[in-house]
């Protein structure tokens, strides 16, 4: 029978001739509650699903179920090993390995637009290139020294001419040369211009023609001579003819270079 006078509820049971036993009901309840809290409550119902997978049986979870769909089975590089000594080199925005991650001998040649853009203090073992003149320099420890054997573009002694400049000069010279004539020894050119009118005039002179200088009347009379008061004149056949009548006189024909005989 139950003992209601005690703070702990107990149950006594027994049979005649046997010793009775008592059960601690409160302790039993506490034990059952602990069992529920520790063992049952952490469990989930079998009908519960995770990403569409029911818990009623074995569940196979894929990498996409846990947000790892981009992960491959290839070996991965830790970020802590990227760009550091004994690690893995990285790439810049141009897809190239930064100079800071390259060994010094790889970056021994550096280029600049002009020599004035060189660092104020250079580094030993490096070659500095001036792209404007295609020259190479090295740092001596106190100043930049040009490396001998470089080909410098220019127009002074010790430099090479720019190919385009030379080609343009040749073309210009050829153009100007086409305007000239060959020089002949003993001949020279004057500043007098030879006109078309002069050429036409010369073309009108027959081959073998000679310049005629008209003699004066006195020269004609002297050449013909006089005799018995009568002058002679020269015939076409080369003989002298004495005109009939009085002494002959000669008068220059107006606008002409010859004379007429007056008898």
Q: Note the pLDDT tens digit of each residue in 200-222.
A: 888 888 887 777 666 666 666 66
Which whole number is the average pLDDT over 171-190?
80
CB atoms within 10 A of CB 89: 12
Same domain, 44 and 105: no
CA distance 156 to 169: 16
The reply to whether 63 falls in a domain is no
- Lowest pLDDT segment from 70-84, 152-166, 191-205: 152-166
Tens-digit pLDDT profile for residues 87-98: 888 888 888 888
- Confidence band (pLDDT; 50, 70, 90) for 163? confident
Closest CA to 50 of 62, 37, 39, 38: 62
Using a 10 angstrom Cβ sphere, with 0-12 exposed, 13-18 middle and 19 or more buried, the burial of residue 258 is exposed
Same domain, 106 and 165: yes
3-state secondary structure of 65: helix
The pLDDT, as a whole number, for residue 76 is 80
3-state secondary structure of 130: strand
The pLDDT, as a whole number, for residue 119 is 92
* Most confident of the ranges 4-13, 27-36, 203-212, 227-236: 27-36
The pLDDT, as a whole number, for residue 1 is 45
Q: Comparing 149 with 198, which gets the higher pLDDT?
A: 198
Domain boundary among 49, 64, 89: 49
C-beta separation of 125 from 144 below 8 A: no
- Confidence band (pLDDT; 50, 70, 90) for 121? very high
Whether pLDDT at 227 is above 50: no
The reply to whether 68 falls in a domain is no
C-beta separation of 160 from 153 below 8 A: yes
- Confidence band (pLDDT; 50, 70, 90) for 230? very low
Domains in the chain: how many in total?
A: 3
Which whole number is the average pLDDT over 94-112?
80
The pLDDT, as a whole number, for residue 234 is 61
Sign of CA dihedral 123, 124, 127, 132: positive
Q: What are phi and psi of 139, to 5 degrees?
A: -90, 120
The reply to whether 175 falls in a domain is no
The reply to whether 165 falls in a domain is yes
b/e map 165-190, b = 16+ CB within 10 Å: eeeeeeeeeeeeeeeeeeeeeeeeee
The reply to whether 120 falls in a domain is yes
Q: Comparing 74 with 154, which gets the higher pLDDT?
A: 74
Domain boundary among 129, 151, 169: 169
Q: Mean pLDDT in the chain?
A: 74
* Domain containing residue 38: 1-49
Q: Comparing 110 with 8, which gets the higher pLDDT?
A: 110
To the nearest whole percent, how much of the chain has pLDDT over 70? 62
Domain boundary among 152, 169, 186: 169
CA distance 138 to 122: 8
Which whole number is the average pLDDT over 54-63?
74
CA distance 160 to 62: 71
The reply to whether 258 falls in a domain is yes
Q: Comparing 5 with 236, which gets the higher pLDDT?
A: 236
Whether pLDDT at 229 is above 60: no
Whether pLDDT at 109 is above 80: yes
Which whole number is the average pLDDT over 74-83?
84
The pLDDT, as a whole number, for residue 170 is 86
The reply to whether 174 falls in a domain is no
The reply to whether 136 falls in a domain is yes
């Amino acid at each position: 029978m139950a003992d209601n006078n005690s703070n702990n509820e107990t149950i006594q049971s027994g049979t005649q001739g046997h010793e009775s036993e008592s059960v601690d009901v409160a302790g039993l309840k506490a034990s059952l509650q602990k069992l529920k809290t520790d063992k049952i409550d952490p469990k989930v119902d079998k009908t519960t699903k995770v990403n569409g997978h029911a818990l009623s049986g074995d569940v196979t979870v894929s990498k996409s179920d846990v947000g790892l769909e981009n992960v491959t089975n290839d070996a991965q590089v830790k970020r802590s090993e990227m760009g550091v000594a004994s690690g893995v080199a990285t790439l810049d925005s141009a897809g190239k390995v930064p100079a800071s991650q390259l060994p010094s001998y790889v970056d021994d040649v550096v280029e600049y637009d002009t020599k004035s853009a060189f660092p104020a203090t250079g580094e030993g073992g490096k070659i500095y290139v001036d792209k404007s003149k295609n020259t190479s320099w090295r740092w001596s420890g106190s100043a930049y020294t040009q490396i001998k054997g470089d080909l410098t573009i220019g127009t002074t002694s010790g430099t090479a001419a720019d190919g385009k400049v030379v080609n343009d000069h040749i073309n210009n010279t050829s153009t100007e040369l086409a305007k000239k004539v060959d020089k002949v020894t003993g001949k020279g050119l004057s500043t007098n211009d030879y006109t078309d009118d002069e050429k036409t005039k010369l073309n009108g002179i027959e081959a073998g023609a000679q310049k005629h200088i008209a003699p004066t009347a006195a020269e004609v009379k002297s050449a013909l001579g006089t005799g018995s008061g009568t002058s002679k004149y020269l015939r076409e056949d080369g003989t002298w003819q004495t005109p009939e009548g009085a002494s002959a006189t000669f008068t220059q024909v107006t606008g002409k270079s010859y004379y007429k005989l007056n008898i």
